[in-house]
Structure formats: C-alpha cells, structure tokens
Amino acid sequence: MLCGNERLHKSDNKNQTYKDLICNEVVEIQVRRQRYRCSSCGNKQWDTVSGASSYLRKSMKLMLMEKRGTQSDLAISGVRG
C-alpha cells in the first residue's frame, strides 16, 4: 500500500471478464477481484491478477501472442475439425 500500512480490511468485490488464450483460441474467463481498504489512511486498492494485465484485462499469454503478430497462430485457430 502507498502508506506502507499492512493492516488491510477486505472491502467490496466484483467479477470481471478477462481474456485468455487457451489452445490458440481467445476465451473469456471470469475473475473475482477483491478490494482492500487500508485501516490507517483509508485508501482502497484492488488486488492484482497474477499473469494478467488488470488494465487491459488480458492474460500475459494473450498479450504476447498479439505482440508477436496475428498471422500464424490465428490462422490455425480459425480451422476447426
């Protein structure tokens, strides 16, 4: 936390939709986010989602794939069966 206080109380929570990459397909997953409130300064802060960007709501795996380019992997995922 910003003030360095370790005593955090659970505040509200919510479900967010994140995008992940599974078997070369983009899938949406529900992530439960927990917000904490600092008992000292009253600041509120959401928890962090490991392996994903909480700003873009995408997994690191998906972001890496997008950075690499869309040609090869997405072409494969478009073929079914």
What are the two backbone dihedrals, phi and then psi, of residue 3, each rounded to the nearest 5 degrees? -90, -5
Structure tokens, 6: 């370790």
Site string for Zn ion, 24-43 (x = CB under 5 A): --------------x-xx-x
Which residue, 38 or 52, has its beta carbon nearer to Zn ion? 38
Where does residue 28 rank: exposed (0-12), middle (13-18), buried (19+ CB within 10 A)? exposed
Given 1, 31, 49, 63, the residue binding Zn ion (CB under 5 A): 1
How many Å separate Cα 59 from the centre of its chain?
A: 6
CB of 49 to Zn ion, least distance (A): 21
Binding site for Zn ion (CB under 5 A): 1, 3, 5, 38, 40-41, 43
